[in-house]
Amino acid sequence: MKIIMVLFALVSMVGFASEAPAQRGMDWKGGGGWGPDTHYHRMYNPQTIENITGDVVAIDMTHP
């Protein structure tokens, strides 16, 4: 009987512990996206555009 109670307690603790970080993740603010009033948009300067020419000699496929 003690073994069953200990196993139940361990399973319950793991279940509650894995649920808690998932709920806290909702508070993450992120980088604000790519909209016109964001940090990334303000870094863009059209005066620094360069044209580059060349030939594509290989394409490597990668997996994230």
| Assessment of whether the complete model's pTM goes beyond 0.75 | no
| pLDDT attached to residue 62 | 85
- Could you give the CA distance from residue 41 to residue 61 in angstroms, rounded to a whole number? 29
pLDDT tens-place string over residues 6-57? 888 887 776 666 555 555 555 555 556 667 777 777 788 889 999 999 999 9
In the chain, the largest separation of any two C-alpha atoms, in whole Å, equals 75
Identify the residue with better confidence: 57 or 64: 57
Rama region for 11: left / alpha / beta (φ>0; ψ in -120 to 50; rest): alpha
| pLDDT attached to residue 15 | 64
Residues 6+ apart with CB under 8 A from 35: 41
| pLDDT attached to residue 63 | 80
Residue at token pair 């360069």: 50
